[in-house]
Amino acid sequence: MRYHKIPDESIRRLPVYLRALLYFSQAGEKHVSSEKLAEFLHFNSSQIRKDFSYFGYFGTRGVGYDVDKLIRQTRNILKLENQRPTALVGAGNLGKALLAYEGFGIYGFDITAVFDNDPKKIGKKIGNVSIESVKKITDLPKRNISLGIVAVPTGAAQEATDMLVAADVTGILNFAPRHLNVPRKVKVITIDIAMELGRLPYYA
Amino acid sequence: MRYHKIPDESIRRLPVYLRALLYFSQAGEKHVSSEKLAEFLHFNSSQIRKDFSYFGYFGTRGVGYDVDKLIRQTRNILKLENQRPTALVGAGNLGKALLAYEGFGIYGFDITAVFDNDPKKIGKKIGNVSIESVKKITDLPKRNISLGIVAVPTGAAQEATDMLVAADVTGILNFAPRHLNVPRKVKVITIDIAMELGRLPYYA
DNA sequence: CGCTGTGAATCATTTCACAGCC
DNA sequence: GGCTGTGAAATGATTCACAGCG
């Protein structure tokens, strides 16, 4: 399977696996079977085996997967081995919530730069990061930052994105409820909170 | 098509269509073709036509779709015609950000109740909503609230969920990075922010 | 024996292509 | 003529089922 095209959906599940594996690791488990993992995540076990088989042979027949090894492999596939400095654009309510969000640590993201265009906010600190002017986004390459989070109002989102792209960012996590235009080489993932909520009443 | 099983993916796209249609409406457009909508959303036009055809015949051949009519139809399908009171559990950073988030208005969600278990927070106001004790969650049926948002730390998420379920909530938007156990009749949508970010480096 | 790894079968979704209606 | 609505074809993802290894 190693040379097949890997489904996008498999990639999407890898961070989920990683989180579950970290949980098992902390619980002191040495090995875990696809069945165990499937039960924990409410997935199908052969899907888990297939997902990992796309990337190589990670398990031991008769035994299962070595938890810590699989964690390393998964981190490796996702390119999360090293801590990744990340830039946040927008220091409003959402930006502040993201700065406080402990979840990023699991995947090694570290928000080391925060930008805003409100002069009143510039220079202030949130946690231990100082808010800088959006003009400083041009410095990102110097600071080795290639991931950005867009948490500005919808109307400013494309502009913020353009600045990140100009600073050679390769990935953007977007919270503005709109499509962002970027060059093909830049990957954008949009999280539209209200949109997710929007389909809930349908199922009720 | 009217009597076919409707793909989950189609439902997922309806809120996206709604947002785009509202944009066209505000721009003064009377009609929009599936082609126009597709271009705007970076979708395939026949997918849009098929999605709407699952629910009935909404367009006019040779003309396109009546924007305002389609907005009404879409709202109707998603059961968003009326303002929906919604409960938020967790008044931390994320909760505050959600309260300030303008996006909910588009879909008619109105956070009219906020609960937290921190006695220091209870009674305080955020915007024009007062924080109440989580014990008051039992009052939700009285207050006609059947949607809940879980924005508490991971360790408290299942407990918060259980309280919402006990109060006959039918839909839950979950921000805790874990699977929530609920009875089958309750629909849960989980947004795991860090997880989304977790696959960004893979594509870079 | 137990569990992985994986072709093959199934199931779901998307796209094509065009008949049919305005 | 133009655009919808939709079967049919193509594509993509999931699940089955079991061979093969530890």
A16-42 pLDDT per residue, tens: 999 999 999 999 999 999 999 999 999
Do B101 and A93 touch, CB atoms closer than 8 A?
Answer: yes
Do A146 and B204 touch, CB atoms closer than 8 A?
Answer: yes
Per-residue confidence (pLDDT) for residue A2, from 0 to 100: 46
CB contacts of A177 in chain B (<8 Å) are: 19, 103, 106
Per-residue confidence (pLDDT) for residue A177, from 0 to 100: 86
Give A63 CA → D20 C1' in Å.
14
Nearest nucleic acid nucleotide to A45, CA to C1' distance: D15
pLDDT higher at A195 or B90: B90
Cα(A64)–Cα(A59) distance, integer angstroms:
5
Burial of A82 (0-12, 13-18, 19+ CB in 10 A): exposed
Partner-chain residue, chosen from B19, B93, B101, that has the shortest CB–CB distance to A100: B93
Residues (pLDDT < 50) of chain B are 1-2
Per DSSP, the three-state class of B145 is coil
Burial of A102 (0-12, 13-18, 19+ CB in 10 A): exposed
Give A20 CA → D1 C1' in Å.
57
Pinpoint the alpha helices (H) of chain B. Answer: 8-26, 34-41, 45-53, 67-77, 93-100, 154-166, 193-198, 200-203
Give A46 CA → C8 C1' in Å.
14
Per-residue confidence (pLDDT) for residue A3, from 0 to 100: 55
Shortest alpha-carbon distance between residue A62 and chain B (Å): 28
What confidence category does residue A174 fall into, taking pLDDT thresholds of 50, 70 and 90?
A: very high
* Strand C bases within 7 angstroms of protein beta carbons: 1-7, 12-18, 20-22
Find where tokens 């909530």 sit: B169
CB contacts of A18 in chain B (<8 Å) are: 198
Find where tokens 């990023």 sit: A104
Instruction: Please report which helix (H) or strand (E) contains residue B33, including its range.
Output: none
Let me know the angle formed at the C-alpha of B106 by B78 and B95, rounded to the nearest 5 degrees.
Answer: 100
Q: Tens of pLDDT along A84-115?
A: 999 999 999 899 999 988 788 889 999 999 99
Per-residue confidence (pLDDT) for residue B95, from 0 to 100: 94
Do B78 and A201 touch, CB atoms closer than 8 A?
Answer: yes
B93/A101 touch (CB, cutoff 8 Å), yes or no: yes
Q: Are strands A171-174 and A64-66 parallel, antiparallel or unpaired?
A: unpaired
Per-residue confidence (pLDDT) for residue B88, from 0 to 100: 98
